[in-house]
Amino acid sequence: MTDCKTTDCKSASALRDISAQDFLGFGVQHVAYVRPAILNGQKVFSIHAADGTPLGYHDNFDAALVLTRQNDLEPVRVQ
């Protein structure tokens, strides 16, 4: 039997029950992902909202992270 706090169990249960549409919007205003991409033949790091909406890009990974944080989003790297 798993030992969990009541609020943790309720949160986990609530996440399992959300709709696909609600899941797409989860974190959209708080999280962005940064991933390598090719743009016009050059390697860049593209920045996307949690729902996949392209937000921008930079040719330097660290600069892409800074740009993301400057826009009040928490970056998550995707390979």
pLDDT, tens digit, for every residue of 50-65? Answer: 888 899 999 999 999 9
Residue 11 lies in a domain: no
Count how many domains the chain has.
1
Nearest alpha-carbon partner for 51 in 5, 20, 11: 20
Residues 6+ apart with CB under 8 A from 75: 31, 32, 33, 34, 47, 64, 65, 68, 69
Residue-number span of the structural domain to which 62 is assigned: 27-79
Would you say residue 1 has pLDDT above 50?
no
Both tokens assigned to 78 = 């995707």
Both tokens assigned to 17 = 């029950």
Residue 72 lies in a domain: yes
Residue 63 lies in a domain: yes
Residue 65 lies in a domain: yes
9-68 confidence digits (pLDDT tens): 666 676 677 776 766 666 567 889 999 999 999 999 999 988 888 999 999 999 999 999
